Homo-oligomer: A and B are copies of this chain.
């Protein structure tokens, strides 16, 4: 099977918008790792921990927009915007993410690079 990281990234961004935390976690390999933000001191290991991470925005309205994508082999690096609306609060963050995929197309690692200066209140 030839892997299409571009399609896998778009599926991820779409699932973040329309899927449950479990739906997003299901895109990850069972033993995947997630670090968001990089340098934040916490790495989520395994699909269950990853579902817990995405559950944080379960009650929010989320939209995503792919801004720049670079792929190579089983990897992708991309800049995107995510807008999260919770009640009266609406924030937009523009991370650069790096993803690795296994040959089944599952995400084996995700790292999101961003800091306070990449987040703005709308």
Chain A: residues with CB nearer than 8 A to chain B?
Answer: 37-40, 68, 70-79, 95-96, 98, 111, 113-115, 118
Contacts and interface: CB of A to CB of B under 8 A. Distances in A.
Where chain A touches its partner, the secondary structure class is: strand
A98 B95 contact: no
Q: Copy number in this complex?
A: 2
Contacts of A114: 70, 72
Nearest to A67: B68
A107 to B, nearest CB: 16
Contact of A72 (B40, B73, B75, B78): B40
A31 B42 CA distance: 27
A70 B118 CA distance: 8
A81 to B, nearest CB: 12
A56 to B, nearest CB: 18
A94 to B, nearest CB: 8
Contact of A78 (B71, B96, B115): B96
Nearest to A95: B70
The 3 closest A-B pairs by CB, nearest first: A39-B73, A39-B72, A38-B72
Contact of A37 (B72, B76, B96): B72
B77 A77 contact: yes
